[in-house]
Amino acid sequence: MHILPLEGVREDLKEALPQLQLSAIRDRMADLAGWQQQAKAAAEGAYAITGARIIDGQGGAPIDNAVMVVGGGRITAIGPRATTTIPGGLRTIDARGATIIPGLWDMHGHTSQIEWAPAYLAAGVTTVRDMGAEQPFITAFRDAVASGKGLGPRLLLAGLVDGAGEGGFGSTIAATPQEGRAVVDRYHAARFEQMKLYSLLGFSRAPAALAMNYRSVTNNTDAATAQGRVRDGQRMVKALFDAGVPIVAGTDGGLPGHSLLRSLELYVGAGLTPMQALLSATRVPAVAMGLAKDTGTLESGKRADFSVLDADPLQDISNVRRVRWVATNGRLLSPSGLWPLAGFRASGTMP
């Protein structure tokens, strides 16, 4: 069993690599903790948001002129203004004209650097399932966020395991059954939620398919062909959805946050309704991960992970880009304070 091959590492530095890696991780986690302090909260602790429309993620009609009360990182009350009690003396935030949605999920991320954290949050993404990253880094990242010491979305981890050969980024190689069992034990001990099995059968049975794919990639690179493939993918998504297959939004990387929002637009372009697209990045992934009792919808007792949007995404799914605030564990942040941490110029809305 071994980890990702050491691409580009000088022979005389290979023995020192573990210590260099740990040193780099410590430095990056210190940066992440610093960002947690720099990202000033618009609100935290106990507060109430009033006057907004709430799309709670359960698939029903939105709640107009709603109240959501937050405390201790949880939603403590939610409902119409007329029937929802706000505790006396509690800070209230007037959000008339805004729409509140559950925090979005990206179910296929590769969190390879800490700059992804503020970029995800600025786009309203509060949970990411990482599908393959270097274990010492991603577990430190996850733990920093979970402890409240580091800035970022909640990370759920899928350990990547591959068969014999040169593995890809973040993969662990298991060439024998014994090594396979050791990999399972290792990921379990590190509190990974899942494992991702990758190319375990090797490529020996598919030389013709590989050759065909190579010709396809190298010979058909014009824009019209690329757009045609996008449309093919959209038709496939709609066919799967119509057949009753649960659709979870996931991007496999790209630009953190933006790629997820673009996926929702493409789902609507494929024929899903805006509500169905939103559910693919909220309730449906929470159910898929066995976490629906705690997150994925806006209900009393659940995690206070949500976005406050300046416009209604049910009217136009692209309004998911218009994030006024994002909350993770009830800590309400403005994207304008997050984009600079990711090295992006703050513009007030998603690009």
> Beta-strand (E) ranges in the chain?
2-3, 47-54, 63-71, 74-80, 92-94, 99-102, 104-109, 125-130, 154-162, 171-173, 194-198, 306-309, 323-328, 331-333
Q: How many structural domains compose the chain?
A: 1
Is residue 255 situated within a structural domain?
Answer: yes
Whether 278 maps to a domain, the answer reads yes
Which one-letter amino acid corresponds to residue 249? A
Which backbone phi and psi does 234 adopt, to 5 degrees? -65, -40
pLDDT for the residue 195? 82
Quick check: is 297 in a domain? Answer: yes
> What would the pLDDT profile of 70-129 be if each residue is shown by its tens digit?
999 999 999 999 999 999 999 999 999 999 999 999 999 998 899 999 999 999 999 999
Better-predicted residue by pLDDT, 60 or 226: 60
Least confident among 35-49, 182-196, 216-230, 331-345: 216-230
Q: Is residue 61 part of a domain?
A: no
Q: Is the predicted pLDDT of residue 258 greater than 60, yes or no?
A: yes
What is the reported pLDDT for 251? Answer: 94
Q: Which residues pair with 75 in a beta bridge?
A: 70
User: In this structure, are residues 182 and 1 in contact, taking their beta carbons and an 8 Å threshold?
Assistant: yes
Cα separation, 13 vs 172, in Å, equals 21
Which of 260, 261, 280, 251 has the alpha carbon at shortest distance from 59? 280
Residue 21 domain-assigned (yes or no): yes
| Region at 216 (left for phi over 0; alpha for psi -120 to 50; beta for the rest) | alpha
pLDDT of residue 323: 98
Could you tell me if residue 88 is inside a domain?
no
Q: Give the pLDDT of residue 348.
A: 47
By percentage, how much of the chain surpasses pLDDT 70? Answer: 86
In a domain, 95, yes or no: no
Q: For residue 35, what are the domain limits?
A: 2-41+101-124+226-342
Interval 234-248: pLDDT, tens = 999 999 999 999 999
What is the reported pTM?
0.88
What pLDDT digit, counting tens, does each position of 39-74 carry? Answer: 999 999 999 999 999 999 999 999 999 999 999 999
pLDDT in tens, 130-183: 998 888 999 999 999 999 999 999 999 998 887 765 555 556 777 778 888 888
> CA-to-CA distance for 286 and 279, rounded, in angstroms?
10
Return the half-sphere exposure (C-beta side, CA atoms, 13 A cut-off) of residue 155. 33
With beta carbons less than 8 A apart as the criterion, state whether 296 and 287 touch: yes
Residue 152 lies in a domain: no
